[in-house]
Chain A
Amino acid sequence: MRLGIWLVVVVVVVAAGIWAWNARETAALDRELAGLWEIASPDTAFAAAVDFLNRHDNLDESRAGEVVLVLSNAAFEAGEIDGLVAVLDSLRASQLPRPVINRLSTELHDALVIRTIMSPTEGDVPRANEIARELLLVDDVSAEAYRMMASIRAGVLRDSPDVSDHWLTVELVQKADVAIAEDPEDERTFSLDSAYGVLLGHVSSSRGLDAAFAMADSIVGDGEDATLAAVIDAARYRIAVDSEPELALAAARRFASSGDAVDYWYIPFAIGRDVRDRGLDLDLALSLAEWSLSLSSTRRESALTHEAVGWTHHVMGDRGRAREHLEASVARLRSAPRFEDSSVRRLLEVYEVYEDAGADEEAVELLATIVARSVLPNEEACGRLSALLVRAGRPADDLDALVESYRYAGVGRAPDFTAAYSSGGTVSLEELRGRIVLLNLWSYG
């Protein structure tokens, strides 16, 4: 009996010891992994990530994926696509676990496709395609990785004359739908639209509209996938609108009724704008523009969609709503309004076309701001401003003083910052008071 108890105690102590040791090892691994993200130099981070992968050849997929992300981020930051391709190739040939190799392969595919823009190499697309086909056969790549591959292909290989390139892109988004993802719906609409749009566009160009529509029907099938059905209707509109506007319009109307199935603002925005500009169905154009406005999230998206809604109202003769939305669009411009900004020109047209709109003061303000900050002669804006002053019963002599008073209208202050010169030393905007500063924000990739 006593021996039995002692045996149990020994087993428990040993098990606890092993557990504690494992926990310590895991914690050390995670600390080292976190340290990779802290390395400021891309070259050093790249080398450290490669070294980490070689030393820890039994990583779980999540940790391996994180290391690969450090590695490719560092390579892209340093502009070292060729170096990234070389390292990924050598790592893929090593004895790392299969899930890690597959993760590396997704990055290699993306680097090969992107390299065709930066420094084209003849064999890159066939190699990328081969890797994509291999990855379609595995089950340990995330949905996000497949969608990234598809999006990059749809953008870079859009004009490929080989339909198999486009089918491969579609297969990647289809695979994304069955792969494991943290957020399965993230960018799904965008990636479906990209992949199928390019494919159907290619088929329409090479085999005709009927063939493309037949393919579209087979893709949609029973229509259970509402998002897929919606993006296919969007593609039908684009490929049919020049030759068969009634067919295109039918597709656009179906698309407009897809509601929550679409969460990407640009698709209704672009179709609505086209429907409006072609004069096909203004009610439909307005509905699409308003839908895109509801989906917009950034300032730029909001400026563009307000302009779309406003201009559609103007074309439909509703000056009040036109003005409201175009003013909202112009208000979202970051810098001084320029005569060339389409929302500015549209707003001026709304102000000036409807003489009884009572918008002369607003038009004067907008034009005066434009003229005040036009560094090159802007005779058209000046001419329109003078005409407005005359119409408002103000003397033409008022022009110079008026323009000068708007010189700083709506101008904001730059946020103060301090930055380090790469050659040593620092600079702060506060210290540069009294000087004109041209600040160029750039990146290499």
Chain B
Amino acid sequence: MPCRAELPHLADLEKTFEGEPVTVIALLSGRLTGATAEFAKDCEVIHLVCEDVTGEIRDAFGTVSVPTTVVIDETGRVMFEHVGFDEGLEEQFAEEIRTLLAWARET
């Protein structure tokens, strides 16, 4: 399941950019309880999880399927978006964050 495959990589991304102005958020459709909470704990991402209980935020982003990963720059622009997850995509996310950090330093 792509959502579950991606989640462990979020913790790695957070560690990679520790000390940098980067925030990683795992926005869950629904509430974090039961098996979902156990899974998030196992992936060491439970501190990154926010709850989108009604799906309002997901709708605001126009997201049709999950996982969807959106990379937003320092001014709030949606610079990159990925629907789905394949192993290796986490490297792409890291490069995108590095690129946006570099562009932010230029301005």
Q: A residues within 8 Å of B by Cβ?
A: 40-43, 77-80, 298-300, 334-336, 373, 375-376, 407-408, 411-417, 419-423, 427, 429, 432-444
Contacts and interface: CB of A to CB of B under 8 A. Distances in A.
Interface in B68-107: 68-83, 92-93, 95-101, 103-104
A435 B77 contact: no
B25 A419 contact: yes
Contact of B74 (A79, A413, A420, A434): A434
Interface residues of B, number: 70
Given A415-B61, A436-B23, A438-B71, A41 B50 contact: no
A385 to B, nearest CB: 18
Interface in B1-38: 3-4, 6-7, 10, 13, 20-37
B47 A334 contact: no
Given A419-B51, A421-B47, A436-B22, A78 B27 contact: no
A13 B28 CA distance: 56
Contacts of B49: 421-423
17 contacts: A41-B31, A42-B31, A77-B31, A299-B62, A375-B95, A420-B51, A429-B76, A436-B20, A436-B23, A436-B72, A436-B74, A438-B72, A438-B97, A440-B7, A440-B25, A442-B6, A444-B28
B81 to A, nearest CB: 3
B36 A436 contact: no
A414 B4 contact: no
B47 to A, nearest CB: 6
B77 A335 contact: no
A442 B97 contact: no
Contact of A42 (B21, B22, B33, B61): B33
A423 B48 CA distance: 9
Contacts of A417: 56-57, 60
B79 A373 contact: yes
Contacts of B66: 441-443
B70 A414 contact: yes
Given A437-B25, A438-B93, A444-B39, A335 B80 contact: yes
A5 to B, nearest CB: 58
B22 A414 contact: no
Given A422-B46, A444-B3, A436 B31 contact: no
B34 A79 contact: yes
A335 B98 contact: no
Given A419-B50, A435-B22, A439-B25, 6 more contacts: A375-B95, A407-B103, A417-B56, A421-B50, A427-B23, A438-B22
A414 B77 contact: yes
Given A422-B51, A423-B46, A443-B29, A438 B99 contact: no
Nearest to A438: B24
- Between B10, B76, B81, B97, the greatest number of chain A beta carbons within 10 A of the residue's beta carbon is seen for B76
- Between B22, B35, B60, B68, the greatest number of chain A beta carbons within 10 A of the residue's beta carbon is seen for B35
Contact of A375 (B46, B69, B72, B96): B96
Nearest to A301: B64
Given A77-B31, A78-B35, A443-B30, A438 B13 contact: yes
A201 to B, nearest CB: 26
B36 A78 contact: yes
A412 B63 CA distance: 15
Nearest to A298: B64
Contact of B31 (A40, A335, A441): A40
Contacts of A411: 77-79
Contacts of B26: 440, 442
A300 B65 CA distance: 11
Contacts of B67: 440-442
Contact of B77 (A77, A78, A412, A416): A412
Contacts of A376: 92, 95
Nearest to A429: B76
A79 B82 contact: no
A443 B79 contact: no
A41 B79 contact: no
9 shortest interchain CB distances as A-B pairs: A335-B81, A79-B35, A78-B34, A419-B50, A415-B60, A442-B3, A375-B95, A422-B32, A444-B36
